[in-house]
Amino acid sequence: MASTSPEVPAGQDKLSFFSILTGDWMDVPEKSKLGNCRSVIEFEKLNRLGEGTYGIVYCARDNRSNDIVALKKMRMEREKDGIPISGLREINILLHLRHRNIVELKEVVVGKSLDSIFLVMQYCEQDLASLLDNMAAPFSESQVKCIMLQLFQGLQYLHENFIIHRDLKVSNLLMTDKGSVKIADFGLARKFAVPAGPMTPRVVTLWYRAPEILLGSRKQTTAVDMWSAGCIFGELLAHRPLLPGRSEIHQLDMVVEMFGTPNESIWPGFSELPALENFSLKKQPYNNLRHTFTWLSESGIRLLNFLFMYDPAKRATAEECVESSYFREQPYSCDPELMPSFPQHRLKRKTQVENKAEDQKLKSRSSGSFHDFGGSGSGSATKVKKMKN
């Protein structure tokens, strides 16, 4: 038998509930309105750090403990039915993660309105993207090893706990003044099962996106994170983005130009990927990693090639990377506490102009993330077939 919801009495407070026991509307006591969450007014905003796809991040001081934290305001502008699923996933995942190389979610706090929700995160003094843009001299190979070893250890922990990050890039890697690298921004992260089920292909910023995603596969494994880690590794070594594509077509061109054209023998199931119904890849038989990193040792080249295996099933795991001989040869990885510090980036109070410039830089780094297959990069050598009727 159908029933209708009772009408809210005129002038009734929004924070009221209808009791099925008494049949009356009851006010929520003041002390219970925030549930177990603290109010955001207990935090003093110091400055705006940046803006991502899923929220704005501030540097703030916890007035209760006097600790400096990162305060991430969740985007709720377009939400009509409560917290977005991406936010719920991020909260759920981070609350259960505790590792030295994963940014820590301390708690969730709320504002006066129901759509004002903040994540209180561990504060890190800088992110790798801004450091790479502003450093006077690039990281040494010893420092690159220190960063990558911590990244692989963090990924090993995530993957052992059945979590795929799905948005690894230098701007999502934070670093403390003591050289500790933290994986951050879990808005696209997902828990996975074995065997892996289908997931949305609209993930991972374009420059760091694995070829199986570019070619339309809905099956995603931890291998998508390892490809992104390879792109980060190459970027740190080359002192510039390794595969900075302008569109998905151009990104595929750059991948083929660097690693050669994939085929069924090296990647079983390759010819059945959905995107190949619409175009074919240019023929390029050579792997150009050695020509790109002429000074890198053989074990370094092997590790890069292992991370860039076309077949996701054969791609390096985080555990295998941690055990790589590359990290056991000179120059050895430096101790995190011996990493250079960057005091000019600490708690810098920025003007509106500086904040706007930084926001534009953050957006430009992820521009072209979700282009359709319709466009092609200038000078693209990819041959486009006629669409099937």
Residues with a catalytic annotation lie at 167
CA 115/CA 84 separation, integer angstroms: 11
* Beta strand segments in the chain, E: 16-18, 25-27, 38-39, 43-52, 55-62, 68-74, 105-110, 117-122, 126-127, 163-164, 173-175, 181-183, 190-191, 279-280, 383-384
**Spatial CA neighbour of 167 closest among 374, 365, 304:** 365
Measured between its terminal Cα atoms, the distance across the chain in Å is: 48
CA 207/CA 210 separation, integer angstroms: 9
Residue located via tokens 């936010």: 87
The SS3 call for residue 119 is strand
The SS3 call for residue 306 is helix
| DSSP assigned state of 12 | -
The SS3 call for residue 370 is coil
Residue located via tokens 């955001």: 40
**Spatial CA neighbour of 93 closest among 163, 159, 156, 37:** 163
